[in-house]
Structure 1
Amino acid sequence: MRLIKPVEITPAKLISSNVPETDYPAWLVSATYALGDRVLLDHTIYEALAAVAAGVKPGEEVVTPEAPAKWQNRGMDNRWRMFDDKVESLTTNPGTIEVRIRPGAVINSMALFNLQGKSVTITMIDPVEGEVYRKTLTLVDAGVTNWYDWFFEPIGKRTDVVVLDMPPYGSADIVLIIDAGAELAAIGHTVIGAVKRIGTALYGTSVGINDYSRKSTDEFGNTIVVQRSFSNRAEFDVTLDTSEVTRVRRLLAELRATPVVWIGEESYEATILFGFYKDFQIVFSGPTVSDCSITVEGVI
């Protein structure tokens, strides 16, 4: 089992993107705004909750019971949603999404969540050595096992991808291309970082979802279902060397309340999650091998 602690992507690290930042007009210090107006400031969308006088800057208001907030944060704009630590908020663009990132740290792994497209290409370009890595992954997951499925079943699509074989470079740029052909390319979240090993995930690991939909039945027996979001979850059973227990415990303690990528087995998409651990327990099972259990909840 492995994990990837994300490198924060700041505006200085996003070298280029073909996704325009034209969601809404930029906020102007000299402008006044009416209820419901939306503006862009620092790659964030703000909505006016009331009439706003000139000079009231979103995100810097002094809010009191007598002076309620005039602006509400509505999240990152389209270009930056792929870096906002949320999986459901999508960066979209017709045809392709192409970004160039300069992490400024040694990285050797990448994870992509909630993808929509036909293929993903990841390239590492070092300023001295040039292109040092390139991999193209198809997102088409047919899952065909018989002739009936070939002709009649819909073709599935992979939505989550993890790449763990990138060479460790500290100065290379990462070029990510999501190709959707004539359709809409989309991505929920992008993680770049250095992979860390915990141990070996065992059979017996379980995966599932937390469904936030609601079902209610009125006094006449009518059932109403409100479909809402869901998050992934997993309970990993892990074995590790007893000599590694202290290191793993320290690593997990440092990652409390921190969203990271959890990888049970990279070939099983269901065991790849971006989220927090709720609980972990390490048992000194013997002098050479110990057991660990980790409960992880994905972010929405």
Structure 2
Amino acid sequence: MLLLMQSVRRYISTNLNQPHLLWLKDTAYAINTTVVYENHIYRTIVDKNKGVQPDLNTGKWLLFGVDNAFAAIDLHSSTSTTIDDGLSEIELKFDATNFNHLAFGGVQGGVLTVEEHKADGTLIKTKDYPIGIARINAQNWYNYYYLPIPDTSGAGSGLPIDVMIALIQPTTSTITVKLTRNSALEAFIGSMVGGKGLDIGDVEYGVNIGLIDYSRKETDEYGITTLVRRKSRQTMTCDVVTPAVHIQGAKRVVQNALGHALMFVADPDKDSKFENLIMLGYIEEWETYLNNGVIARSRLRLEEVL
């Protein structure tokens, strides 16, 4: 089981429109002025607002959400990086030194392209991922979760990709991600997670997958039911086997990951039965059973980020 923590914090460049000013400490902002600070949008609710860091004083600043270009790497905003009107593609360039994985979730568009470059600009590798090729023709719950990714039988359908992993060369210096517009649909990237995968052990057979429904269902005294449909969240509980000598390191990795949105990836070199169990989520619970001096069995409960 690989835990992929977000290492993409900012972009070298992007072609997306950024209409808001960057917050500057020495600037006095008039009331209702919007600025961007740490990839989030804030509006000042007082006049001559100067020297007050937006994320530290809610009495002077009002948080309005994440900037469009950074929505894909925020992982907490439940929003997507969406293509601007008039553009034919989204283009995001960022530093990726020592990356070995790049994961995407909730992607819709034409073709997603990942370009890897050395520090001098030399192209290492480029690969295209046609959109609309994941979770197509899934006729039952088993296929829905275990269908190989990508399922090329649905190529070109334009349906959003739920999750996809790109393996990155360790010598990569920068990555450019491009997503072309689909003629019939809006182009957007729901989430993008890049970094170095951390291994905590091998997933055992018998993963428990569930769904939590957040829809509101009420029935009044006359038997009339009102249903307000809302999102659902996937859960996953799995047993992970780790050599006993490495369990302390695995515990530190999990502890550092608590409270963060991660991409969870079963390592295809070790967990071939579960190589398609990939989820953007957070750790709900982790506990370990040290049943002998050779191996340790851990129970890991995950919940999906909506």
TM-score, normalised via structure 1 length: 0.78
Q: Shift of the alpha carbon at 1:92?
A: 0.3
Partners of 1:289 and 1:32 in 2: how far apart?
A: 61
Q: Shift of the alpha carbon at 1:113?
A: 1.7
Aligned partner letter, 1:176: V
Aligned residue pairs total 277
Aligned partner letter, 1:217: T
Partners of 1:111 and 1:223 in 2: how far apart?
A: 41
Unaligned runs of 5+ in 2: 140-152
Q: Shift of the alpha carbon at 1:73?
A: 0.7
Aligned partner letter, 2:18: E
**Structure 1 residues 260, 117: CA separation in 2 closer, same or farther (over 3 Å shift)?**
same
Contact 2:217 2:225 in 1 (8 A): yes
Which residue of structure 1 aligns with residue 264 of structure 2? 262
Which residue of structure 2 aligns with residue 66 of structure 1? none
RMSD value over aligned CA atoms?
Answer: 3.2
Contact 1:119 1:136 in 2 (8 A): yes
**Structure 1 residues 176, 189: CA separation in 2 closer, same or farther (over 3 Å shift)?**
same
1:127 paired residue among 112, 119, 124: 119
Q: Percentage identity across aligned positions?
A: 21
Contact 2:89 2:180 in 1 (8 A): yes
Partners of 2:56 and 2:161 in 1: how far apart?
A: 43
Aligned 1:94-109 pairs, distance under 5 A = 95-103=88-96, 105-109=97-101
Partners of 2:209 and 2:282 in 1: how far apart?
A: 14
Which residue of structure 2 aligns with residue 168 of structure 1? 170
Which residue of structure 2 aligns with residue 53 of structure 1? 47
Aligned partner letter, 2:76: K
Q: Shift of the alpha carbon at 1:161?
A: 1.2
Aligned partner letter, 1:90: S
Partners of 2:202 and 2:162 in 1: how far apart?
A: 24
1:234 paired residue among 233, 236, 261: 236
Partners of 1:29 and 1:255 in 2: how far apart?
A: 38
Partners of 1:174 and 1:31 in 2: how far apart?
A: 38
Q: Does 1:281 align with 2:287?
A: yes
Partners of 2:56 and 2:195 in 1: how far apart?
A: 35
Contact 2:8 2:95 in 1 (8 A): no
Aligned 1:1-300 pairs, distance under 5 A = 1-10=1-10, 14-22=11-19, 29=28, 31-33=30-32, 39-42=34-37, 43-47=39-43, 52-55=46-49, 59=54, 69=59, 71-86=61-76, 88-93=78-83, 95-103=88-96, 105-128=97-120, 130-141=122-133, 143-144=136-137, 156-163=159-166, 165-169=167-171, 172-182=173-183, 183-264=185-266, 271-300=277-306
